[in-house]
Chain A
Amino acid sequence: MSNERLDVRKTYKLLINGAFPRSESGRSYEVTSSAGAFLGNVSWASRKDVREAVIAARAALSKWSGATAYNRGQVLYRIAEMMESRRDEFAAYVAASESLNDRESQSVVNETIDRIVWYAGWTDKVAQVLGGTNPVAGPFFNFSIPTPTGVIGVLAPQDSSLLGFVSSVLPALAVGNTVVAVSSERRPIPAVLLGEITATADVPAGVLNILSGVASELGPVLATHEDVDGLDLTGAGDLAGTLAADAATSIKRVFRPTALDLDWSASPGTRRLRAFVETSTVWHTVGQ
């Protein structure tokens, strides 16, 4: 045994504004595989980390929503390229987190990469599918364009640690929102790895912020935060009703998944793309 090299283990940290800090609270919690094996001490994000992440997401919004749709598509596609090159690492952690065998976890990674590509292809098509001209009765040229809602808080699914996470976060990003995501409490590591690859995929700092922690603790902070514009309650569990009510204070857009939305392997359709877009309509006079 003395010949065997000791491996270097990773500290799993938060992603806020393009940096990887520990929680300001100094807290961490132990994450184990579904079989009980120790996987790591993961940063346990606090109320203050949420606030920092929202500030970062707000600051990143004008650049990300103002980027061309083509550019956003290229950046999201780059995430897929990066995940493909680290697929075995993702598969190993998905397997450990979700107690899947090799074949199953590889298949989850395949679907996840394809899901990223699916949303990369949507960036420059959303306006063509959701927008259009309106033939108003009068000398006006009238058209509607979809615009991003703003800063979106995503409580990612508790079960599907990678595919579900990506399927919740990517549609909000594709249409130009910025995101503060709370990863699965018991299965956070695949989301943390995703955060790491965004740093090498030209995703601008602050566009995607990932907090590992407890949805029932951080959810209410997001739901009552005045500078959060939309809330995805997929991972909120029993708290979903309360959080949806809290969101009313600042008229947040709320996405509450139906059973159909929770089948992560099904064709995703456009429901999540439509969840966090606004419609902006322009009237312009026509005349000599």
Chain B
Amino acid sequence: MSELQHQSWSRLNDLEYAPAPESASIARLRDSYGLFIDGKFSDPGSHSQFVTLNPATEKPLATVAAGSSADVSRAVISARRAYDQVWSNMPGKERAKYLFRIARLIQERARELAVVETLDNGKPIRESRDVDIPLAAAHFFYYAGWADKLDHAGFGPNPQPLGVAGQIIPWNFPLLMAAWKLAPALAAGNTCVLKPAETTPLSALILAEILQQADLPPGVVNIVTGDGATGAALVSHPGIDKIAFTGSTEVGRRIQRELAPSGTHLTLELGGKGANIVFEDAPIDQAIEGIIDGIFFNQGHVCCAGSRLLVQESVASDVQRRLIRRVEQLRVGDPMDKNTDVGAINSAEQLSRINELVDAGVAEGATRYSNSCDVPDAGYWFNPTVFTEVSQTHRIAREEIFGPVLSVLTFRTPEEAVAKANNTQYGLACGVWSEKGSRTLWVAERLRAGVIWSNTYNKFDPTSPFGGVRESGFGREGGRHGLEAYLNV
């Protein structure tokens, strides 16, 4: 190597990314927010307020109203009135045009929404900009088209809505989950009371502004922020015809039990312990990227995360070596930086849950590798971590960590891969990596999971049904199937 070549090569190695921060001022946040009931924001001063933090700095972003059970009642009454007087009688093609408007307004305010989402949630701006917000708009666009085509959806002629839907969404994809809940419900002719997650209420409140801009009739969508108590008040409200919940299996179980006597319609999208199965004939480079994306996308705060890697023994050492090298390259830090791969953990509570399970992994004998990226002093951070030598009995192989932690196990035959992948109480998603299509389909037929990705992972589209089997819940969101959750059929 010539001297010149050598110099340029070393300079290349020294290259650092310059910071590429998005501006927080684009968010245009208010200091405090009331509840969105009957088409209006209530006076923030009339509620007890709680602070929502930026998890990357631990600094407050805004204060938000804690909805009481009386507030929930007002919201349900408003939704019922809107259902009876406006929304259920409106022709589908008119409902459709409201939803198209909402889709367009989300597109128009996409950058602002992306910044709000990243500030409130801690996810990298690249993900909120390229995934969360565009998918939320697309979801409204897709279901807008269904509003006047329900006769063609396969549920028989003239299918009817359920009534007032209570919808409780998690903090991992705040706006996207709101879209997943609201769009099909409204298309089918229901009215809604939405309860955003306690730690990520802001993008739903921007959405409320968008609903005002769209002139959506008052009461069709009501947004009541608060904590678990607010959600519990919604679940137990007698005026609700349908509950749609996305969150932990533990809470889902409680809701199902509580609603059992009344027979209120229910769909649940709960936890998961997804397996990414890598066969020896897989396209390995592509698989490494898919495994990384499967578990470190959104800090691993993904119910369908590929949190278990099942790799065929013949390629296991090669895959592990490449995987660990790739994990080390991930850039952890400021979510507002466009170069960041892994952002902040959403809350101190979630961080302590991750720490507890990772400690258990070490104590039970698995081998830990963690990315060594420096992280800021303030904020909640967890460096991407891979455990090898994991056995099926370890807690890190059985329990949902909901963080950037991957457990690697091995297998020898396709039967063994299927048996290990299915050895969980969950059944939300799996990945299969193989260049042999017939094998992928053979495995897919045997996996007990609601979604199976082949040679890819964590792909979402409004036309594609998403949801779990077993203790990952029931009901589907997305696609033609997603309408069924909001129709009385």
Chain A interface residues (CB < 8 Å from chain B): 69-70, 73-74, 77, 114, 117-118, 120-125, 128-129, 139, 141, 270, 284-288
Interface of A is mostly: mixed
* A114 CB contact (under 8 Å) in B93, B142, B438, B462: B93
CB distance from B435 to the nearest CB of A (A): 14
Cβ of A114: which chain B residues have Cβ within 8 Å of it? 93, 97
Whether A287 lies near B439 (C-beta < 8 A) is: yes
Tell me how far the C-beta of B418 lies from the nearest C-beta in chain A, rounded to whole angstroms: 10
Contact residues in B for A285 (Cβ distance below 8 Å) = 437-438, 441
Some 9 contacts from A to B, beta carbons below 8 A apart, are A70-B462, A77-B141, A121-B96, A123-B145, A125-B145, A125-B146, A125-B463, A285-B441, A286-B441
Contact check, A121 vs B463: say whether CB atoms are below 8 A apart: no
Q: Is the CB of A122 within 8 A of B149?
A: yes
Contacts of A69 in B (CB 8 A): 463
Note all chain B residues with C-beta closer than 8 A to A73: 141, 145
Q: Which residue of A117, A124, A270, A287 contacts B142 across the interface (Cβ within 8 Å)?
A: A124
Chain B interface size, as a band, is: 20 to 34
| A288 and B442 contact, CB distance less than 8 A | yes
- Considering only residues 185-228 of chain B, those with a C-beta below 8 Å from chain A are none
| Shortest beta-carbon distance from B283 to chain A in Å | 18
Q: A114-B97, A285-B441 are in contact. List 16 more A-B contacts (CB 8 A).
A: A70-B138, A70-B141, A77-B100, A117-B100, A121-B148, A125-B146, A125-B149, A125-B480, A128-B479, A270-B152, A284-B437, A286-B441, A286-B445, A287-B438, A287-B442, A288-B439
Residues 120-143 (chain B) with a chain A CB within 8 angstroms:
138, 141-142
Contact yes or no, B438 A120, CB < 8 A: no
CB atoms of B145 and A124 under 8 A apart: yes
The smallest beta-carbon distance between A80 and chain B, in angstroms, is: 8
A286 and B438 within 8 A (CB): yes
Contact B148 A118 (CB under 8 A): yes
Complex partner residue of A120 from B145, B154, B445, B462, CB under 8 angstroms: B145
Q: Smallest Cβ distance from A75 to chain B, in angstroms?
A: 12
B480 touches A128 (CB 8 A): yes
Chain A neighbourhood of B437, CB < 8 A: 284-285
Residues of A within 8 A of B142 (CB): 70, 124
**B144, CB-defined interface residue at 8 Å:** yes
**What residues of B have a CB within 8 angstroms of the CB of A141 in the complex?**
441
B159 contacts chain A at the CB level, 8 A cutoff: no
Q: Which residues of A contact B445 (CB under 8 A)?
A: 286
How far apart are A175's CB and chain B's nearest CB, in angstroms? 14
Complex: A226 Cα to B149 Cα, angstroms: 36
Given contacts A121-B148, A128-B479, A288-B414, are A74 and B141 in contact (CB under 8 A)?
A: yes
A-B complex: 10 closest residue pairs judged by Cβ atoms: A121-B145, A285-B438, A286-B441, A287-B438, A128-B480, A141-B441, A288-B414, A286-B442, A287-B442, A114-B93
Residues of A within 8 A of B479 (CB): 128
